[in-house]
């Protein structure tokens, strides 16, 4: 920094001057050369969402630096957000740089979760960019003594129309100053018809680095003087209530490990710290800890009974007409129970964090989805004021919701505080499988009635679920970090959220009811939280399977049956687009002749509108089923997808493909195993996921609506997969499998029973 630097308070000064943070943004004085071509633009401290300078700066060399509270989780949002900003500013993509998730640099945009990054985060950035563009035009108008209407901007240059000599780059116009103005909620936005960058299938900005091994993940962060830590876990792996206590620790068991530093213990939190990673691994393996523990979980076989019996709070989601009187009057009535097990985040890289907790301050490098929320939890854990905790996001392995990223930061923070040195904690595979929060198991009971013509006259949907959100910062602070749960014997907490996602039917059935039974978090069995799609995954499985059951009972084509109860043109379009792409043939239902031999083929469809108000998805799956082995081979999946304005069609397709493959994996393979002590699926052998030979063709139809708001795309497509597959299995075999996942074993026994019953009736 040069001589003018002292006029601008440092970030630290801002932070310590509590209550005057906003002052930083009203600094009217030009900071001049501070923002010189060196590009060392000084960040303005604790960002305030209303201030344009918190979002965006233009450097002298005509680059836009964007401060994004939303972070890259492997979904391509960094690229998409750059496109939005570049287009709105009329600046080349290459001139946009994104600073992500940093509690001293970026605004608090909440979690990067729930498919809300483009929908909300993108909209915020777009407004900021539009405000900045307007400001630049005003500056240019003054400089050239013309009216704004006489100016045009293109690729980072503003010029006077028809006067080639009168032009300046954005960087020259702003001249290294801050904008010092508020984000204008009414700033004129570019007409989507004029987009040049938004809507283009531009490559991911990180891809070259990833391919050559030069991309930095949180697992790669190294800081001077850093030690390595590991946590030694109690036997009640993954339980929502951790009962185990330490009886004794035999520290002599780790004697002689070269580079070993010490054992750290707080309550049931036991960790080891060493100079090298290998020594930490060896110490964690060798340390002899005697635990007091007793089995306290239900047996896996009793899972669904346990869910139905758990203490819960009932909440009526919808109640239209009168289900109770309508059902008995129906000509035909059906009832079914669907079950979905606990599932994990299949992040290939276990969570990792580096913490430096010394002298009353903490710095954390983490792949957390919410740096501000994690900051609150860590401050609580460490007994520091939040402004003394600096949380910096660094990309991690793909996270499909609330995996171990926050927890490992808590582990590293506790260990670092104990040894007064920076500590890196790399979770093991067993840590991630066993201890990250799980997508909760769910139980769904559905009833429906048809009249003589096969029209639906009654519908009831009930779901038993724990909350899907126990993130730090949601309600609990430190208690939602695993380290606190171990150290202080606390249980996680959260608002009742996510379990009712897509529980209510989107169809215009009369006499319909939807009820959620919220299982108390302490009774959730395994620690619950957000996994891609949250409750929509199991809810769409049950809803869309049962609609299929009703269509079959009515002897109607599943596509036509659904269309009969929809009036929203975008819903109808998405179903028709999927059916057309899949060359769907209208059918009236008749049970296939199932034999024990051979291969049976079938197709199934599902429809959803995510959260009943966002993205529209229709999915058609084609399967081959082999009764002898129980194998379900997915041959082809077609997805029609309407998320409004498409920012980057290639990035969007990448997300949808990923959602489909992960959806297949969860539908056919993934089931977390546990016994009365804790989770037993602790590696990829005991929790297998989809592999290359099992991957089908995926065809995607994008329905782009440039004048509609861009809504989320990370989650919606996964929710449609399970029902499309189970409906296809039904179409192929006549067997309705209502418990997920549709493993070989489960399919095999269901089909054997079906073959036996077919034999009996013929």
Partner 1 sequence: MVRLELNVNGRKRAVTAEPRSMLLYVLRNDLALHGPRFGCGLGQCGACTVLMDGAAARSCVIPVSAGVGRSIVTLEGLGTLEHPHAIQKGFIDEQAAQCGYCTNGMIMTAKAFLDENPHPTDEEIRQALAKNLCGCGTHLRILRAVKRAAKEMA
Mind spelling out the 3-state secondary structure of 173-185? HHCCCCCCCECCC
Interface positions, 255-274, toward partner 1 (CB under 8 A): 258
Checking DSSP bridges between strand 389-393 and strand 361-366, what pairing results, if any? parallel
The set of residues, in sequence order, having a beta carbon less than 8 Å from that of 327 and lying 6+ positions away, is 333, 447, 449, 458, 460, 511
Pick the closer one to partner 1 by CB: 93 or 334.
93
Q: Is residue 216 part of the contact set for partner 1 (CB under 8 A)?
A: yes
Q: Where are the beta strands (DSSP E) in 267-366?
A: 269-274, 288-292, 312-320, 332-340, 352-358, 361-366
The set of residues, in sequence order, having a beta carbon less than 8 Å from that of 520 and lying 6+ positions away, is 310, 311, 312, 313, 466
Pick the closer one to ligand FES by CB: 40 or 691.
691
Pick the closer one to ligand FES by CB: 76 or 398.
398
Pick the closer one to partner 1 by CB: 71 or 355.
71
d(CA 529, CA 495): 11
In the complex, the smallest distance separating the C-beta of residue 761 from partner 1, rounded to whole angstroms, is 40
Which of partner 1, ligand FES, none does residue 46 bind to, with CB < 5 to 8 Å depending on kind?
none
Q: Is residue 207 part of the contact set for partner 1 (CB under 8 A)?
A: yes
Beta bridge partners of 160: 151, 163
Helix axes 649-668, 536-553, angle to 10 degrees: 70
For residue 672, the 8-state DSSP code is -
Q: Exposed, middle or buried: residue 753 (CB in 10 Å: 0-12, 13-18, 19+)?
A: exposed
Pick the closer one to partner 1 by CB: 184 or 220.
220
d(CA 49, CA 40): 22
- Here the tokens at position 284 are 């964690």
Choose the stretch contacting partner 1; rule: CB under 8 A; options: 206-214, 437-445, 518-526, 600-608: 206-214
Say if residues 202 and 648 touch (Cβ distance below 8 Å). yes
- The interface mask with partner 1, positions 46-85, x = CB under 8 A, is ---------------------------xxxx---------
For residue 90, the 8-state DSSP code is T
Q: Is residue 398 part of the contact set for ligand FES (CB under 6 A)?
A: yes
Q: Is residue 396 part of the contact set for ligand FES (CB under 6 A)?
A: no
Among 5, 207, 348, 756, binds ligand FES (CB under 6 A): 348
- The interface mask with partner 1, positions 345-374, x = CB under 8 A, is xxxxxx------------------------
d(CA 323, CA 459): 7
Q: Is residue 74 part of the contact set for ligand FES (CB under 6 A)?
A: yes
Q: Is residue 654 part of the contact set for partner 1 (CB under 8 A)?
A: yes
d(CA 646, CA 716): 14
Pick the closer one to partner 1 by CB: 99 or 695.
695
Q: Terminus-to-terminus CA distance in the chain, angstroms?
A: 88
For residue 287, the 8-state DSSP code is -
Among 376, 398, 410, 741, binds partner 1 (CB under 8 A): 398
Pick the closer one to partner 1 by CB: 376 or 398.
398
Q: Is residue 437 part of the contact set for ligand FES (CB under 6 A)?
A: no
Q: Is residue 210 part of the contact set for partner 1 (CB under 8 A)?
A: yes
Beta bridge partners of 697: 636
Which of ligand FES, partner 1, none does residue 266 bind to, with CB < 5 to 8 Å depending on kind?
none
Q: Is residue 395 part of the contact set for partner 1 (CB under 8 A)?
A: yes
In the complex, the smallest distance separating the C-beta of residue 408 from partner 1, rounded to whole angstroms, is 13
Q: Is residue 521 part of the contact set for partner 1 (CB under 8 A)?
A: no
- Here the tokens at position 539 are 């809810």
Q: Is residue 233 part of the contact set for partner 1 (CB under 8 A)?
A: no
The set of residues, in sequence order, having a beta carbon less than 8 Å from that of 123 and lying 6+ positions away, is 709, 710
Binding site residues, partner 1, CB under 8 A: 73-76, 203-204, 206-217, 219-220, 222, 258, 276-279, 281-282, 345-350, 395-400, 426, 428-429, 650-651, 654-655, 657-662, 665, 683-685, 689-693, 695, 698
Binding site residues, ligand FES, CB under 6 A: 74, 348, 398
């Amino acid at each position: 920094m040069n001589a003018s630097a002292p006029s601008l308070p440092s970030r630290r000064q801002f932070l310590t001057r509590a209550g005057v943070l906003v002052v930083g943004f009203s600094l009217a004085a030009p900071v001049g050369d501070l923002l010189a071509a060196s590009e060392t633009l000084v960040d303005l401290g604790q960002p305030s969402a209303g201030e344009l300078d918190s979002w965006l700066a233009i450097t002298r060399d005509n680059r836009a630096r964007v401060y994004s509270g939303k972070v890259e989780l492997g979904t391509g949002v960094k690229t998409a957000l750059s496109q939005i900003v570049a287009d709105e500013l009329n600046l080349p993509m290459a001139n946009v740089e994104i600073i992500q998730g940093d509690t001293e640099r970026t605004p608090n945009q909440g979690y990067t979760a729930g498919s809300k990054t483009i929908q909300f985060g993108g909209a915020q950035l777009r407004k900021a960019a539009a405000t900045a563009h307007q400001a630049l035009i005003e500056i240019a108008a003054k400089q050239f003594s013309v009216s704004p209407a006489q100016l045009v901007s293109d690729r980072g240059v503003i010029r006077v129309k028809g006067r080639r000599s009168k032009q300046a780059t954005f960087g020259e116009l702003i001249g290294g100053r801050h904008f010092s103005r508020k984000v204008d909620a009414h700033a004129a936005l570019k007409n989507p018809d004029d987009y040049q960058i938004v809507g283009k299938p531009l490559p991911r900005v990180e891809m070259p680095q990833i391919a050559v091994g030069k991309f930095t993940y949180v697992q790669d962060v190294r800081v001077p003087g850093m030690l390595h830590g590991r946590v030694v876990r109690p036997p009640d792996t993954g339980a929502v209530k951790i009962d185990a206590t330490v009886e004794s620790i035999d520290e002599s068991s780790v004697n002689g490990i070269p580079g070993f530093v010490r054992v750290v213990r707080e309550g049931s939190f036991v960790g080891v710290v060493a100079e090298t990673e290998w020594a930490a691994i060896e110490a964690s393996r060798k340390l002899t800890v005697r635990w007091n523990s007793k089995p306290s979980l239900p047996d896996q076989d009793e899972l669904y009974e346990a869910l139905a019996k758990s203490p819960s709070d009932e909440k009526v989601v919808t109640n239209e007409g009168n289900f109770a009187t309508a059902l008995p009057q129906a000509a035909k009535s059906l009832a079914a129970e669907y079950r979905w097990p606990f599932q994990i985040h299949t992040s290939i890289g276990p969570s990792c964090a580096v913490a430096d907790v010394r002298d009353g301050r903490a710095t954390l490098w983490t792949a957390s989805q919410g740096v501000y929320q994690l900051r609150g939890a860590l401050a609580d854990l460490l007994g520091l004021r939040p402004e003394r905790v600096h949380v910096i996001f660094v990309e991690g392995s793909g996270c499909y919701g609330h995996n171990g990223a926050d927890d490992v930061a808590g582990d590293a923070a506790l260990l670092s505080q104990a040894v007064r040195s920076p500590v890196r904690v790399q979770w093991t595979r067993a840590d991630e499988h066993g201890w990250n929060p799980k997508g909760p198991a769910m139980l769904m009971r559905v009833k429906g009635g048809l009249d003589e013509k096969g029209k639906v006259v009654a519908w009831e949907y009930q779901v038993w679920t724990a909350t899907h959100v126990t993130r730090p910062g949601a309600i609990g602070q430190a208690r939602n970090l695993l380290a606190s749960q171990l150290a202080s014997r606390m249980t996680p907490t959260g608002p009742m959220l996510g379990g009712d996602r897509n529980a209510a039917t989107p169809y215009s059935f009369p006499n319909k009811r939807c009820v959620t039974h919220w299982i108390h978090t302490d009774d959730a069995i395994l620690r619950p939280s957000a996994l891609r799609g949250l409750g929509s995954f199991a809810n769409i499985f049950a809803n869309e399977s049962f609609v299929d059951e009703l269509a079959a009972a009515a002897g109607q084509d599943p596509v036509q049956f659904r269309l009969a109860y929809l009036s929203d043109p975008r819903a109808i379009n998405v179903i028709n687009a999927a059916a057309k792409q899949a060359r769907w043939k209208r059918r009236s239902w008749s049970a296939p002749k199932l034999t024990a031999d051979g291969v049976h083929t079938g197709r199934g469809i599902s429809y959803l509108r995510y959260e009943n108000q966002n993205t529209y998805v229709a999915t058609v799956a084609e399967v081959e089923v082999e009764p002898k082995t129980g194998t379900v081979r997915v041959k082809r999946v077609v997805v029609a997808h309407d998320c409004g304005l498409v920012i980057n069609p290639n990035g969007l397709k990448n997300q949808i493909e990923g959602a489909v493959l992960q959806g297949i994996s969860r539908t056919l393979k993934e089931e977390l195993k546990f016994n009365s002590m804790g989770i037993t699926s602790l590696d990829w052998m005991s929790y297998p996921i989809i592999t290359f030979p099992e991957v089908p063709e995926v065809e995607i139809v994008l329905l782009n609506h440039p004048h509609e708001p861009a809504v989320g795309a990370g989650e919606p497509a996964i929710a449609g997969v399970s029902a499309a597959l189970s409906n296809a299995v039904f179409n192929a075999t006549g067997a309705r499998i209502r418990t997920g996942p549709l493993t070989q074993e489960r399919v095999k026994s269901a089909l054997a029973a079906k073959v036996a019953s077919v034999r009996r009736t013929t």
